[in-house]
Copies of this chain bind each other. A is one copy, B any other.
Amino acid sequence: MPKFMDVHSGFVGVTADELNAAHDADLKIEGEEGVHFASAWLDPVAGKVFCLSTGPNREAVMRIHERAGHPTTEVYEIASEV
């Protein structure tokens, strides 16, 4: 299953609770697209969130994030990791 890293911008001042709530919103519907969001990392000063996921394709990842209320078009397919 392909793996993806996606990036959200503009999340300045977001709290850990808000990150958890956003992640839970993804988890609640991700199965409908065969996606799974494994991890998310937040920098609330720069306003960046990085999400690591698996899924069938970039579009499926984008659809879940959009339906969960935090759309992004910055989704990268991971070919290699170390």
Contacts and interface: CB of A to CB of B under 8 A. Distances in A.
Interface of A: 3, 5, 7, 15-16, 19-20, 23, 39-46, 48, 50, 52, 76-82
Given A5-B50, A50-B5, A50-B50, A39 B76 contact: no
A42 B48 CA distance: 19
B5 A81 contact: no
A79 to B, nearest CB: 5
B43 A79 contact: yes
A78 B43 contact: yes
A19 B80 contact: yes
Q: 5 tightest CB-CB pairs across the interface, nearest first?
A: A43-B76, A16-B80, A42-B80, A23-B82, A41-B78
